[in-house]
Amino acid sequence: MTDDENVANPDASDALDEFPAEFSGEVSGDEATSGVGVCSLDGCDNPLPPRSTTSDGRRRSGRPAAYCCKAHADAASRARRSAQTAAIVDPLVEAQRLAELFDPAAQALAATLGEMRERLARADTGALGRVRAAESEAAEAHQDAEAAERAAQAAEAARVKVVAAARDDRQARQVAERSAERAERAAEDVRRRSWEQVAQHERARGAAEAAQAAAQRSRDELVLEVRALRSDYAELRSVHRAAQRDLADRDTALARAEATRAALAAQLEAAEERLVKVGNDHDAARQELHGARGELHAVRVELDGLREEARQLRERSAAEHTARRLAESHANALDKELSGVREELSATHARFDRLLAGRDQPADPQPGEDSRGEDPTA
């Protein structure tokens, strides 16, 4: 019977639990030799039933009883299943909680990016309007100076908007980083529990000579746990991909801001050239042009500040790109560790199968004994 068949047919696993108590549990060496012992269920001190004998007085082959009755054997089996189910459900609940924590941060980040796009669109529209105004008012130096002043004010407003958007992006990135750290800690806990459970199964190798039904149930539970780990890993990969898409959107927004800054610089340079030409033609307007040059110098100083801020934004973008590469490297390391866990689980399954195959080859039965080594009438 395959693992998928066992999962799809839980009634078969329940039917395997109905074997006699003599085929479940373990007893100490003294109890096995003396035939005297107490029930293995916690809180029960009842003596174990005596082992059955053949018609000639010899003890029948097979494992000694571990529980005083079938009801206590079933209770112990249910307790084991409850503990194993809790070990699987707890990581799933933690993963769901992390997903709920990350969802508000992702929504806030999406809203911030949408607002940044709207602001950049408004900045582009304002820049086109300033170009048309400069071309239509090139006849008079005073009007050119006013257009340059309006362009400088618009550049300052755009700079303030870009700084505010960058601050909002930094806060959203911090929230996303905290969510990623919590997801990483959850993955570390899941991996640690997986290693602990693998070690428990390795230590339980000596008990592999138990009945085939109990070994089959343990293997089914391991399969369910591996599937849960795969699901958790897929969720972590989805979170990582969403973070990559957010970083790409921020890079695009920074590129658009840089293009807007370059267009404003070109407009200011063109306005300065027009002011110089008008100053050569009109002596009366030279004093006004001198004041306009001072204002243009202040605008250039502000533009230098914008360039410095854009450079800092590029540096932060490079740092975020480095963090993204580290996250990808960590995800690849998790993938390799999960592959190692699957290989070790496959090796454990193979060892279980070999031990069970040896268990399934019984010795020649004594005359009058059935296939399980007991009297059918017992």
Residue 288 covered by a domain: yes
Residue 99 covered by a domain: yes
Residue 41 is predicted with a pLDDT of: 84
Residue 340 covered by a domain: yes
Angle in degrees, CA 363, 369, 375, rounded to 5 = 135
Question: In 10 A of CB 67, how many CB atoms?
Answer: 26
| CA gap 91, 111 in Å, rounded | 31
Average pLDDT over residues 242-266: 77
Taken in order 334, 336, 337, 343, the sign of the CA dihedral is positive
| CA gap 39, 25 in Å, rounded | 10
Question: How many structural domains does the chain have?
Answer: 1
| CA gap 350, 346 in Å, rounded | 6
Residue 25 is predicted with a pLDDT of: 44
| CA gap 337, 335 in Å, rounded | 5
Residue 211 is predicted with a pLDDT of: 52
Give the domain extent around 131: 85-359
Contact 65, 23 (CB under 8 A): no
Residue 151 covered by a domain: yes
Q: What is the CA radius of gyration of the chain?
A: 38
Residue 109 CB partners (closer than 8 Å, separation 6+): 172, 175, 176, 246
The stretches of the chain forming alpha helices (DSSP H) are 3-8, 10-16, 29-34, 70-136, 141-203, 212-281, 286-359
Q: What is the pLDDT of residues 107-151, one digit of tens each?
A: 776 676 667 667 666 655 665 555 555 556 555 655 555 655 676
Q: Over 80: is that where the pLDDT of 92 sits? A: no
Q: Over 50: is that where the pLDDT of 378 sits? A: no
Which of 33-37, 64-68, 273-277 holds the top average pLDDT? 64-68
Residue 66 covered by a domain: no
Residue 270 CB partners (closer than 8 Å, separation 6+): 134
Residue 267 covered by a domain: yes
Residue 260 covered by a domain: yes
Residue 30 covered by a domain: no
Classified as helix, coil or strand, 22 is helix
Counting Cα atoms < 13 Å in the Cβ hemisphere of 310 gives 18
